């Protein structure tokens, strides 16, 4: 099986990509590009995924390099990782009782070939009390996650339902990625 390079430091993505291959090397891109003016919220994840993959692919021109980025979107506004506990509280209060989108963009690069795609999942939250939000923030779990929650952890207690790929919300739509890699020539 060919080597797969994951351009990510995310522990969740590292675990999930192992479902596709054991021959994986994780190389954080260390590069966050500025978003171009006028980019739509729904295009952001795919753009950032490409930037991450491109920065790592320079050092691995003969391997399959995968970059990913996940965004949480509520009414065309991106809810990024929280800056601090107050920001996490604000984001979770904003999501309370509402449906939102989680979009993961993926980019695959090998040599001079490139392919990008994105996967969207709808997530609905229960109404959250201030106490629930504060207790969750006290766990520190939301502090490194887009939208200030992790569906795979205690944040799952807020989720009323999802439409789409659960693993996409975790940060890597593995079933779709596997199929896209195969179509791109990965064996």
SS3 assignment, position 128: coil
Residue range 62-80: mean pLDDT, rounded: 95
**String of DSSP letters for 58-118:** TT-TTSEEEEEEEEEEETTEEE-S-SSHHHHHHHHHHHTT-EEEEEEEEEEEETTEEEEEE
Residue range 59-79: mean pLDDT, rounded: 96
pLDDT at 33: 66
Asked whether residue 130 carries a pLDDT value surpassing 90, the answer given is: yes
Average per-residue pLDDT for the chain: 95
Q: Give the domain range for residue 130.
A: 4-183
**String of DSSP letters for 157-183:** GGEEEEES-HHHHHT--HHHHHHHHHH
Cβ-contact 95, 80 below 8 angstroms: no
Which is it for strands 24-26 and 4-7: parallel, antiparallel or unpaired? parallel
The rounded distance, in Å, linking the Cα atoms of 20 and 24 is 9
Write down the residue that tokens 């799952």 correspond to: 156
| Residues with active-site annotation | 69
- CATH, residue 97: 3.90.950.10
Residue range 15-23: mean pLDDT, rounded: 95
Give the chain's domain count. Answer: 1
Residue range 11-17: mean pLDDT, rounded: 93
Per-residue pLDDT of 156-187, as tens digits, reads 999 999 999 999 999 999 999 999 999 999 99
pTM exceeds 0.85 for this model: yes
pLDDT at 36: 86
């Amino acid at each position: 099986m060919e080597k797969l390079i994951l351009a990510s430091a995310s522990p969740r993505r590292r675990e999930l990509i192992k479902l596709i291959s054991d021959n994986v090397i994780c190389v954080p891109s260390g590069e966050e590009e500025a978003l171009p003016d006028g980019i739509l919220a729904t295009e952001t994840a795919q753009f950032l995924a490409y930037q991450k993959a491109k920065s790592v692919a320079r050092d691995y021109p003969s391997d399959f390099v995968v970059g990913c980025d996940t965004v949480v979107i509520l009414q065309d506004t991106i809810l990024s990782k929280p800056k601090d506990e107050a920001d996490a509280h604000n984001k979770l209060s904003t999501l309370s009782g509402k449906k939102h989108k989680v979009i993961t963009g993926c980019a695959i690069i090998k040599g001079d070939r490139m392919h990008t795609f994105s996967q969207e999942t709808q997530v609905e939250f229960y109404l959250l009390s201030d106490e629930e939000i504060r207790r969750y923030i006290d766990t520190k779990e939301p502090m490194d996650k887009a939208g200030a929650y992790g569906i795979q952890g205690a944040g799952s207690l807020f989720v009323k339902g999802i439409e789409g790929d659960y693993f996409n919300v975790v940060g890597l739509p593995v079933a779709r990625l596997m199929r896209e890699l195969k179509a791109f020539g990965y064996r």
